[in-house]
């Protein structure tokens, strides 16, 4: 969950307590060492205000146009804002003797939050979706307020009618957007930002779903050739193949017969999860393998997945080379582009 600088709406009296309990507070320091640090931070703080102004401008443009490219532009501006935060807290922590223990603890917390925020925003950029419908940085807070005790921030702000019917609820001690359409019989997981909205998932969630998909593929392939074939056809990209016509009709029959001849096997698809990458512009240029959708971009989110197959039978195990496969995620469901 993002915890941004506007997390500090309700500042506690800790600032006053810190000043009274420790004269080495950065707010009062007269040493040249601490002055140098504060001067550097003042400069970076000024950069932050400029970055916030730019982000606010781009945010309004993206909301007015509703275009994906404008959303990605404002998302990159937000990333620069969080990276500027990181540099502020890093610089402060280089001068630890200027702060009390409480202030150091708070600085370390906001540094962790800024790094987490940056990683989340990067995942939205990598997955080519941009910010999923929220304004995450509404107020720029100057550095000195950061060394007071941060208040827990709830990500529940303006309700976005264009997205799922979300409601703000407490989840594991923190407020999250929760999908009210979820089954009340199951534990309600937060659907944002690690879940999907209108079929769009961030990169971390995409990697998890793709990894789970290949686990299911491994199980189906290990059960029987018939189960493997059902799984292949069921999870094939919608409309890509006609399994009742040539060339797929013959290809699938031959694949089924080959599996029956081989007998019982144990299959395991090994996915290089950390190397999964978005590939939104990928297209199929030829229908030589029976593809019915060629020379056009696919719906959903397309990813390039490095994967290798391990096959065991008895005491023998064979591990194939890494091959690059494409998959698509549509409404949270993973589909394959290969069959038979």
| pLDDT score, position 145 | 60
Residue 331 has pLDDT above 60, yes or no: yes
| Beta bridge mates, 330 | 333
Give the pLDDT mean for 69-75. 89
* Mean confidence (pLDDT) of the chain: 75
CA angle in degrees (0–180, nearest 5) for 258-259-264: 140
**Bigger pLDDT: 97 or 23?**
97
The pLDDT value recorded for residue 281 is 84
Q: CA–CA separation, 77 vs 100, rounded Å?
A: 33
Q: CA 337 to CA 334: how far, in whole Å? A: 10
Matching residue, tokens 């290809």: 251
190-194 long-range contacts, Cβ below 8 Å, gap at least 24?
Answer: 190/1, 191/164, 191/166, 192/132, 192/134, 192/155, 192/166, 193/1, 193/2, 193/120, 193/124, 193/132
Q: What is the pLDDT of residue 218?
A: 95
Residues 245-281: pLDDT tens digits? Answer: 999 999 999 988 888 888 888 999 999 998 888 888 8
Q: Which of 64-68, 208-212, 331-335 has the highest mean pLDDT?
A: 208-212
pLDDT score of 21? 31
Specify the pLDDT at position 151.
36
Taking residues 77-106, report their average pLDDT.
Answer: 85
Residue-wise pLDDT for 319-329, tens only, equals 888 889 999 99
Per-residue confidence (pLDDT) for residue 15, from 0 to 100: 23
Identify the H or E element spanning 237.
none
* Nearest Cα residue to 198 out of 288, 96, 275, 301: 301
Q: What is the DSSP code string of 48-116?
A: HHHHHHHHHHHHHHHHHH--HHHHHHHHHHHHHHHHHHHHHHHHHHTTGGGS-HHHHHHHHHHHHHHHH
pLDDT band at 191 (very low <50, low <70, confident <90, very high): very low
Q: Identify the pLDDT of residue 29.
A: 59
317 pLDDT above the threshold of 60: yes
What CA–CA distance (Å, rounded) separates 99 from 34?
9
CATH of 203-336, one of 3.10.450, 2.60.40, 3.30.70, 2.40.50: 3.10.450
pLDDT tens string 133-168: 555 565 666 676 665 544 333 344 444 433 345 555
| Mean pLDDT of all residues in 44-72 | 88
d(CA 287, CA 290): 5
Please report, for the chain, the start and end positions of each structural domain, with discontinuous segments joined by +: 5-147, 156-196, 203-336
Give percent of the chain above pLDDT 90. Answer: 26
């Amino acid at each position: 969950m993002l915890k941004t600088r506007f997390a500090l709406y309700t500042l506690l009296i800790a600032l006053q307590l810190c000043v009274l309990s420790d004269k080495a507070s950065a707010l009062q320091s007269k040493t040249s060492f601490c002055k140098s640090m504060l001067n550097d931070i003042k400069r970076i703080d000024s950069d932050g205000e400029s970055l916030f102004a730019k982000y606010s401008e781009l945010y309004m443009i993206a909301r007015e146009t509703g275009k994906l490219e404008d959303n990605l532009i404002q998302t990159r501006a937000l990333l620069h804002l969080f990276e500027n935060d990181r540099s502020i807290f890093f610089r402060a922590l280089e001068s630890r003797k200027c702060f009390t223990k409480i202030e150091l603890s708070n600085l370390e917390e906001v540094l962790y939050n800024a790094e987490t925020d940056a990683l989340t925003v990067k995942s939205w950029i990598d997955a080519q979706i941009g910010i999923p419908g929220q304004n995450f940085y509404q107020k720029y807070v100057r550095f000195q307020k950061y060394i007071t005790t941060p208040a827990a921030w709830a990500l529940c702000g303006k309700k976005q009618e264009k997205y799922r019917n979300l409601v703000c609820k407490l989840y594991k001690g923190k407020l999250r957007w929760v999908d009210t359409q979820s089954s009340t019989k199951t534990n309600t997981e937060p659907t944002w930002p690690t879940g999907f909205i209108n079929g769009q998932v961030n990169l971390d969630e995409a990697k998890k779903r793709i990894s789970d998909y290949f686990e299911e593929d491994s199980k189906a392939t290990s059960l029987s050739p018939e189960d493997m074939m059902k799984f292949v056809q069921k999870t094939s990209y919608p409309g890509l193949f006609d399994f009742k016509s040539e060339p797929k009709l013959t290809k699938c029959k031959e694949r089924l017969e080959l599996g029956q001849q081989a007998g019982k096997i144990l299959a395991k698809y090994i996915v290089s999860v950390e190397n999964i990458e978005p590939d939104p512009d990928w297209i199929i240029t030829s229908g030589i393998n029976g593809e019915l959708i060629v020379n056009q971009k696919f719906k959903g989110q397309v990813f390039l997945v490095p994967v290798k197959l391990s096959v065991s039978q008895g005491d023998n195990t064979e591990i194939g080379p890494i091959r690059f496969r494409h998959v698509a995620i549509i409404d949270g469901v993973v589909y394959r582009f290969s069959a038979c």
